[in-house]
Amino acid sequence: MIQTVSKTFFHSLAGSNQLKGLASKYGLRNERSFARRFIAGETVEEAIEAARPIEAAGMSQTLDLLGESVASIAEADVATRAYLTVIDKIVAAGIGRNISLKLTQLGLTIDRATCVDNLRRILDAAGKHDFFVRIDMENSPFTQVTLDVFETMWQQDYRNAGIVLQSCLPRSVKDAKRMNELGARVRIVKGAYKEPRAVAYKDKAQVDAAFMEIAKLLMSEGTYPAIATHDPAMIAAARAHAAQHKIPSDRFEFQMLYGIRRDLQAQLTAEGFRVRIYVPFGSEWFPYFMRRLGERPANIGFVIRGILSER
């Protein structure tokens, strides 16, 4: 209940242009600014610098140039070209080659064919340099079309891409089976968006139970799944499943978000598990940041401390 209210509250704030303007001005201004805990910076250079210590600590990363729901074909083209530059800069920097992106950033809400063309441009460039490209999952109006676009690319032999499924949606069990059939790599998450009752579980216990059901399905029958959560109960259940079914630790990875549960990230790495950190960056960080606050209002504490420490 509390979680639903806070999700609703922060999702509504995420739509405020005034707040966005104010936050964007101060949130990443310097190393101590309040959004730094969760956002690596505005530029790809800053994201690469954030990725280096992650790799030095034995983890891997995926860089995500933040942005969603662009309003024109021109903006989608700008985002696509920005990703092509990100690919070049990652290659030049010599860090791990893995990126995450959103289809509405590439123009999905404006014109599906343009979005597919843009995705193809990115996958072609990524393929040349041996990158893996994760297509993030957005809110439920985009679930089917995201899976359709993914499968279209898969059928055209783009195998350097993977998808995300959300356990808050009852449909995801069936989608996971389909992805296992294809041999596609899936990241399982609980789901970050506020969803209508008609399509999503409202009860956290159901979301958690579905997460474990899908995680087990992916670990036992899928291809190198990513178990993306900070929830110790989910992580313990995944570990127990791997131990019980003798699934080696190099057949799956845990994923966590930059700045969240850094203790757990280090602990799993020390215990020999693969851990990948999702490193978000870019000027369009406000909606992502508000989703993180909505998940854990206690994070407001970091923000307030950050703002006060700037005075």
x/- site string to ligand FDA, residues 185 to 224, per CB under 6 A? ----xxxxx-------------------------------
If DSSP codes are grouped into helix, strand and coil, which group holds residue 283?
A: coil
> What is the closest distance, in whole angstroms, from the C-beta atom of residue 311 to ligand FDA in the complex?
25
Q: Scanning residues 233 to 272, which ones bind ligand FDA (CB under 6 A)?
A: 255-257, 260-261
**Residue linked to tokens 């109006």:** 141
Question: Could you tell me which stretch among 24-32, 145-153, 243-251, 295-303 binds ligand FDA (CB under 6 A)?
Answer: 295-303
Phi, psi torsion values for 28, nearest 5 degrees: -125, 20
What are the φ and ψ backbone dihedral angles of 138, each rounded to 5 degrees? -100, -165
Which of 112/230 has CB closer to ligand FDA? 230
HEC string for 92-128: HHCCCCEEEECHHHHCCCCCHHHHHHHHHHHHHHHHH
Cβ of residue 309: shortest distance to ligand FDA, in angstroms? 19
In the complex, what is the shortest distance from the CB of residue 193 to ligand FDA, in angstroms, rounded to a whole number? 6
Closest separation in Å from C-beta 135 to ligand FDA: 8
Closest to ligand FDA by CB, 90 vs 186, is: 186
Distance from C-alpha of 46 to C-alpha of 66, rounded to nearest angstrom? 13
- Catalytic residue numbers, as ranges: 136, 187
Q: 56, exposed or middle or buried, with CB in 10 Å at 0-12, 13-18, 19+? A: exposed
User: Could you tell me the two tokens for 133?
Assistant: 């490209």
Question: For residues 48 and 307, is the Cβ–Cβ distance under 8 A?
Answer: no
Which CB atom, from 33 or from 140, has the smaller least distance to ligand FDA? 140
| H/E segment holding residue 193 | none
The answer to whether residue 231 forms part of the interface with ligand FDA (CB under 6 A) is yes
Identify which of residues 73 and 204 has a Cβ nearer to ligand FDA in the complex.
Answer: 204
What residues line the site for ligand FDA (CB under 6 A)? Answer: 136-137, 164, 166, 189-193, 228-231, 255-257, 260-261, 278, 292, 295-296, 299
